[in-house]
C-alpha cells in the first residue's frame, strides 16, 4: 500500500489511531509504512482502510492515485 502513511499524515492520525482503523497492530502499521508487507496481512485490512477514507481499494496500491 503506497498511501497508508500519506493518508495518516493528511488526516493527522497517530499510528495508534490508524492501526485501530485498520484493525492491525502498531508494529504491523510501521512495517506497512516502511514499504514492506507484514506477514499475514488480510485483505479485510485494505477494505477497512478504503471504506474509512472513501477510496477504491485499488487506489491504495497505485502510486499516483490519491
Residue whose grid cell is 499475514: 40
User: Residue 47's pLDDT band (boundaries 50, 70, 90)?
Assistant: very high
Of 1, 66, 64, which is closest to residue 22 (Cα–Cα)? 1
Chain-wide mean pLDDT for the chain? 88
**59 and 50 in contact (C-beta within 8 Å)?**
yes
Residue 40 has pLDDT above 90, yes or no: no
Residue 8 has pLDDT above 80, yes or no: yes
Position with higher pLDDT, 8 vs 36: 8
- How many other CB atoms are there within 10 angstroms of residue 19's CB atom? 20
- How many other CB atoms are there within 10 angstroms of residue 1's CB atom? 20
Amino acid at each position: 500500500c503506497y498511501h497508508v502513511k500519506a493518508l495518516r499524515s493528511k488526516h493527522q492520525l497517530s499510528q495508534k489511531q490508524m492501526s485501530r482503523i485498520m484493525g492491525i497492530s502498531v508494529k504491523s502499521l510501521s512495517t506497512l509504512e516502511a514499504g514492506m508487507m507484514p506477514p499475514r496481512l488480510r485483505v479485510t485490512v485494505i477494505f477497512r482502510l478504503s471504506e474509512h477514507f472513501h477510496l477504491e481499494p485499488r487506489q491504495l496500491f497505485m502510486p499516483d492515485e490519491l
